[in-house]
Structure 1
Amino acid sequence: MEKVLIIEDDISLRTILEKFLQKNGFEVISTDRGKAGLEIITSQHIDFVLLDLRLPDSNGIEILQSIKKLHSHVSVIMMTFYDDVRSAVTAIKSGARDYLTKPINPEELLSLLKPIQAVKKAVEINKSEFVQGKNEKFAGVLEHARLVAPTMLSVLITGESGTGKEELAKYIHTNSQRKQKDFITVDCGSISEELFGSEFFGHMKGSFTGAVYDKPGLLESANGGTLFLDELGNLTYENQIKLLRVLQEKKVKRIGSNKEIDLDIRLIAATNEEIVLSVQKEKFREDLYHRLNEFKIHVPALRERPEDLNELINHFIAKSNSEFGKHVKQLSESGLAVLAQYAFPGNIRELKNIVRRAVLLATSETIEKDQLPQEIFNTRTLAVDTVDLKSLQEQQERDAIIKALKKTGNNKSEAARILNIDRKTLYNKLKLYQLE
C-alpha cells in the first residue's frame, strides 16, 4: 500500500484529503508542521508528500528542498492558492512533481497520484543486498548482465513471475553509464488503451477533457536514463505500433504540443510470457520484438537454484528483522526441509513473503516448521527424480487461481491483486487452464 504524508495546517482540508485518499487505497499520515513532516519522512518510508506552500513554522519551498536533498525518491505535490502560482512554478523547478491550486479537487489529486504510482525512480542498488548465490545458471545471468550493462544494447529479460526480473534490470542500470540518471519502471499491464498516449508521451494542459495540467510522459521522464517496460506482453497491438514509431524516430511530442523532444533512452523490457509465440501468432510485432531483443537474458526459476535457497532465506530473514524489529537468526532444519521440497510457483517473491510472515510470527530466534504457511504443506511437493517440473508449476498455478477466485467470489480484479499479477495475465491463465 502506497503511503502519503500530508503537510497542511488547514485541519478541514487535511481531514477531507485523509478520508479521500484512504478510501482510494492509500495509507495516510498527516501533520500541520513542516519540520514535523521532515521527521516523519526520516523515520519511516513515505512514497508521496502533499505539501502546503505556506506553513506556520516554515516555508514550503524550503521543506521541499530538504525533502529532495535527503530523500530524492519521494514524490512531492505542492498545494497553493491560485494567486500564488508563481511560487508553485518555483517549487517545480526545486523538484516538486506537480502542484494543485486550492480548493483542491480530489479527483484531480487522484489523477496526479495514479501516474506516479506507475513510475518508480531507481534507488542505487547495494550489491551486498543482491543475492548472487552459488548457482551456475544464475552466475551466468549476472555475468551477462555485467557485460551488457555498459553498452547501449536494448535488453529483453524473460522468466517466470517473481524471479527478480526488475531487480536484474536495476542491476544493469546501476552498472551502466546512465546510473546517475533516472530508472523509470512502467507496468505495461496497468495502462489502459485510452491512457497510453498520455502516460507514455505526456500532454499539454487543455489538450483533452481532463487535461488540467501539463504532464511529461514516461518517455520524457526517462530521457538520459533507462526505461524499464515490465509485463511487455500486455501491450496492445495498437500501442506497440505507437511505441515502435517513437523508438525509431527517437523523438516524442506531448499530446497537444507541436514541440518535438529528442529522446536518448536505454530500453530494458521484461516478460513472463513466451513472447516468441506471440510474435509467431502475430499478436506481438516482430519489428518491435527485435528492437527490444538486442540482448536476451533468461532468469531461472527458484526451483532451478536449490543451492541458493538457504542464502536467500537468510537474506530475507535479515531484511524482515530490520522491518519488524525482530531478532530471528535462522530457520529450523525441519522448516528448511519443507521449503527444500516445495516447488515455489511464485519463485523468489513467494519465498520472500513466506519468510517475512514467518519472522513476524516467530516467538524465538528460530523459525519453526509450524510457523510456515499451511498452504505449502497442502500442495504437491517437489520430487526431482519423478515429477515433471513444468506440469507441477502449472498445477500449482491452477490451484492458486481457483483458490483466489473462490475467495473473492469470482471477482477477477481482486483475484489478480491477491495473486500479484495484472488482470490481463490472469485472463490469459484462465484461458490456458480452461477455467473460464
Structure 2
Amino acid sequence: MNKNSALIVDDEPDILELLNITLTRMNFNCVLAASLREAEQALAAHQFDICLTDMRMPDGSGIDLVKLIQSNHPDLPVAVITAHGNVDIAIESMKAGAFDFLSKPIDIERLRALVKTATKSGAPEAALDNELLVGTTDVMRKLKQQIHKLARSQAPILITGESGCGKELIARSIHAQGPRCDGPFIAINCGAIPRELMESEFFGHKKGSFTGANADKIGLFQAAEGGTLFLDEVADLPLDMQVKLLRAIQEKAIRPVGTQAEQKTNIRILSATHKNLQNEIVAGNFRQDLYYRINVIHLHAPALRERMDDLEALTSAILNKLAATYDSEKITLTPDAIKHLKRYPFPGNVRELENTLERAFTLCEGNTIRGDDLQLAPMQVETSATQSEELNGQALDKKLEEIEMSYITKALEETRWNRTEAAKKLGISFRSLRYRLKKLGLDTD
C-alpha cells in the first residue's frame, strides 16, 4: 500500500511526537520540522499530502506558512493548531487558506477525522444536474473557479445573492467537488422551522424530554455527520437559536434536548441569505459573533441580469430538462421568444426563468415556444424583486395548484378519465394535460 506523506511543524517536542505517532499509525510517512525555515526546506525537497502546523514558531507563525503554501503549493491542505478557545486566530488562518484547524489539547479522534477528510479526493468539475452552472460569462467563470477552490477547504462559507439565483445549487456544487462528497448534504430553510421545535430539529432530542417527544430523534447536525449542513435563509433564525448555533459551530459539538452529555460533530457548515446581514446586525436582528463565524469566506451568487449572455444556454438546458422529465419531444424557441426573454429583467432570476419556461412549455402549440407563450406582459418588466417574490410565493403557488387540480379532476370525471377528451374539454393540448397530471401527482401510469 502506498503511503501518504505529511509535513508536521511544531517547536514543542511532545506535540511533534504525538502527531508523528498518530499519523504514522494512519500509514503516513512523516517529515518533522521545528521552525518555519525547516518547513520551507522540507516543502522545497518533498511533496506532501497534508501539512499540520502549530500557530506559534520561533521564526514566524502558522499563518505565514499557510500563505506560503497557498502561493507555492495551492493543492496542499494545511491545518493549523491553535490554543484552546482562540477562535479569532482559527478564523484568520482559514481566511488565509487553511483547510481547517485543531485546538489544544489535541483530540486524537478529531485529528484522525480531519486528516482523513483532508487527504480524500473530491469530485473536481463534477457534472451536476442543474442549470445554474451553465454559462461562460466572466461572472460564471469566476464563480466556477471559486467553487472549485473553496470546495477543498473546510472553512464556513456564506453565500449571498438575490432570491432565485441558485444559492443552494452553489452549496451543493461546493459539497460535490469537496472531500465530503460521499457524505450527506442536508439542506434546511431556517425560516420554515417553527420556533418551538427549532432546537430539537437542529440538535435532536431524547424520548420524554418534552411533551410530544415520544421517541429519540436525531437532529440536522447528526444527520449531516461526515458531510455538509446547509443553512438556507440563516438570517431568519431567532436570536436565542443563534446563540446555540454559534456554540455548536465553535465547539464542534452539540447537546440534544433532554441530555447532559455533548456529542462531537464532524460537518461543514455552509450558509446562505438574500438579506444584508450587516444591516441585520445594526438592526439588532443578527448576532455579530455568529456573522463572523459563518462568514469566514464570502461567496456572491450573481443575478441573472449580470449574466444575460448566458440566457440562451440556460434556456436550452432548462427546456432539455423539462422534455426529459415529461417524456416530451425537444422544445425550441422562436427568435421572437428569445428577444422577449432578453428584454425582460428577471427580478426572480433563474427560478423565475424556470417558471416562465415551464408555463410556456405547457401552453405552446407543437414543439415551438413563441413570444406570446411566455406571457411576459410589459407591466411585469417593471415588477420589483420583492413583488416578484410575493407573486411567486408558496402560498399563491399552492392556491393555483388547488384550482388547477379541481378543474382537471372535474374534466376527467366528466369524460370518465378519457385524457384525450378531457384535454379537449379543458381547451389544452394532450401533451399539456399529461404534463399537468405529472406535476400535480395525478398521473397513474
1:145/1:192 CA distance change after superposition, 3 Å: same
Q: Is the 8 A contact 1:207 1:255 kept in 2?
A: yes
Are 1:185 and 1:230, in contact at CA under 8 Å, matched by a contact in 2?
Answer: yes
Partners of 1:367 and 1:399 lie apart in 2 by 23
Of 176, 179, 184, the match for 1:177: 179
Deviation at 1:329, TM superposition (A): 3.4
RMSD, aligned CA:
2.3
Which 4+ runs in 1 deviate beyond 6 A?
Answer: 416-419
**Contact 1:205–1:213 (CA<8 Å) still a contact in 2?**
yes
**CA drift at 1:326:** 1.5
1:92 counterpart residue number: none
Cα 1:300–1:413 shift into 2, 3 Å: closer
Report the TM-score when normalising by structure 1: 0.59
Contact kept, 8 Å, 1:185 with 1:227, in 2: the verdict is: yes
Q: Encode CA deviations 1:10-69: one digit per residue, 9 max, x unaligned.
A: xxxxxxxxxxxxxxxxxxxxxxxxxxxxxxxxxxxxxxxxxxxxxxxxxxxxxxxxxxxx
Q: Please list every run of 5 or more consecutive structure 2 residues that lacks an aligned counterpart in the other structure.
A: 1-124, 401-445
Q: Which residue of 2 aligns with 1:152?
A: 154
How many Å apart are 1:355 and its aligned residue? Answer: 1.0
Q: Counterparts of 2:296 and 2:214 in 1: how far apart (Å)?
A: 39
Shift of 1:253: 1.8
3-state SS in 1 of match to 2:165:
coil
The amino acid across from 2:395 in the alignment is E
Where structure 1 has 5 or more consecutive residues not aligned to the other structure, the ranges are: 1-123, 382-391, 405-411, 420-436
Alignment of 1:23-38 (within 5 A): none
**Cα 1:320–1:153 shift into 2, 3 Å:** same
Q: Which residue of 2 aligns with 1:127?
A: 128
Aligned residues, how many? 275
The alignment status of 1:267 with 2:269, answered yes or no, reads yes
Residue 259 of structure 1: how far off its partner (Å):
3.1
The residue number in structure 2 matching 1:378 is 378
Between Structure 1 and Structure 2, whose CA radius of gyration is higher?
2
SS at match of 1:157: strand
Instruction: Give the distance between the partners of 1:227 and 1:324, measured in 2 at CA.
Output: 31
Superposed displacement of residue 132, structure 1: 2.9
- Corresponding residue for residue 334 of structure 1: 336
Secondary structure, aligned partner of 1:256:
coil
The answer to whether the Cα contact below 8 Å between 1:324 and 1:360 also exists between their aligned partners in 2 is no
Asked if the contact 1:268/1:292 (under 8 Å) is kept, the reply is yes
Inter-partner Cα distance in structure 2 for 1:418 and 1:273: 27
CA separation of 1:362 and 1:328: change in aligned 2, threshold 3 A:
farther
Say whether 1:214 aligns with 2:216. yes
Change in Cα spacing, 1:333 to 1:324, as seen in structure 2 (3 Å) is same
Answer whether contact 1:354 1:372 (CA < 8 A) is retained. yes
What's the CA shift string for 1:83-115, capped at 9, x where partnerless? Answer: xxxxxxxxxxxxxxxxxxxxxxxxxxxxxxxxx
After TM superposition, the structure 1 stretch with the greater mean CA deviation from structure 2, 287-296 or 257-266, is 257-266
Percent sequence identity over matched residues? Answer: 37
* Cα distance in structure 2, aligned partners of 1:260 and 1:307: 51
| Contact 1:225/1:266, CA 8 A, preserved across alignment | yes
Measure, in 2, the Cα distance between the counterparts of 1:195 and 1:378: 44
Q: Distance in 2 between matches of 1:277 and 1:368?
A: 43
2:268 corresponds to 1:287? no
The answer to whether structure 1 residue 198 and structure 2 residue 179 are counterparts is no
